[in-house]
Amino acid sequence: MSQEPIKALCWTERSEPESVYPDGINGAVADALREAGIEAETAQLSDPDQGLSEEALARADVLFYWAHSRHGQVTDDSTARVLKHILARGMGFVPIHSALHSKPFRAILGTTGNIAGWREEEEEEHVYIVEPSHPIAEGLGQKFTLPEAEMYVEPFDIPTPDCIVMISSFREGEVFRTGCCWERGLGRIFYFRPGHETYRVLFEEPCRKVFVNAARWASRRV
């Protein structure tokens, strides 16, 4: 196991309101990672090379990626660079929430990422850990509850995950595969569902723990 600190690149399209995420969702992720000794760099769509330059990706052991409404602005070149680093170099990839419709998510999994429905009513989300021995589940216990969530419901159009670490349930009994792992090429991928742009849920302690665990797993340090 390497003693070098993990290096993460935390990316956002930057459409999340400053009133909710003053430093962006990528800033919230980076803050959680730094607290655990992980070196986290932040980048956004408006940066040179869309914040996904060859140099920035080459430095990254893992890419955290949040996007919501500007998926179409991410170029095919940027997407191809991300895919190359996942597949050929083993960069980890952690798409968050609505990144399920992003170009890199769809391309790396060969799927639409579509969901059967959603509801934006600030309801609780109950996240059950279904694979407690998985490194991403470390320290999470049996379940955690997030105070305000946008509901997503199955079916979720993804290839069958190698491992489903977490499942969410919502007010009307809806369920969703909230934490899913795949391997593609040399890379490890972890999709994490929470993270709506107008809810502060990504500051919640269980989410911060998931980011750290996911960074370690996706970087192959555990």
The two counts, helices (H) then strands (E), for the chain are 5, 9
Nearer to Zn ion, 61 or 150 (CB): 150
Nearest-approach distance from CB 179 to Zn ion, in angstroms: 16
Q: Please, is 170 exposed, middle or buried when counting C-beta atoms within 10 Å of its C-beta (0-12, 13-18, 19+)?
A: buried
Nearer to Zn ion, 21 or 217 (CB): 21
61 binds Zn ion (CB under 5 A): no
**Paired tokens of 213:** 């665990």
Size of the site for Zn ion (CB under 5 A): 3
Q: 99 with 190: CB under 8 angstroms? A: no
Residue 95 contacts residue 179 (beta carbons within 8 Å):
no
User: How far is 125 from 9, CA to CA, in rounded Å?
Assistant: 27
Would you count residue 150 as binding Zn ion (CB under 5 A)?
yes
Distance CA 69, CA 101 (A): 9
Give the type of residue at 162: D
Q: Which residue is nearest to Zn ion (CB)?
A: 196
Residues within window 84-113 making contact with Zn ion, judged by CB under 5 A:
98
Q: Whole-number minimum distance, CB 11 to Zn ion, in Å?
A: 17
Q: Cβ 109 to Zn ion, closest distance in Å?
A: 19
Question: Is there binding between residue 16 and Zn ion (CB under 5 A)?
Answer: no
β-pairing, 7-12 vs 62-66, is parallel
- Angstrom distance (rounded) from CA 118 to CA 140: 25
Torsion angle, alpha carbons of 44, 124, 158, 60, to 10: 30
CB 167 within 8 Å of CB 128? yes
User: Residue 46 or 69: which CB sits closer to Zn ion?
Assistant: 69
Q: Which residues, numbered 170-199, are part of the site for Zn ion (CB under 5 A)? A: 196
Binding segment (CB under 5 A) for Zn ion, from list 1-9, 44-52, 149-157, 213-221:
149-157
Least distance (Å) from Zn ion to the CB of residue 196? 4
Q: Minimum Å distance from CB 22 to Zn ion?
A: 18
Shortest Å distance, C-beta 30 to Zn ion: 20
81 vs 196, beta carbon nearer Zn ion: 196
Contacts with Zn ion by CB under 5 A lie at 98, 150, 196
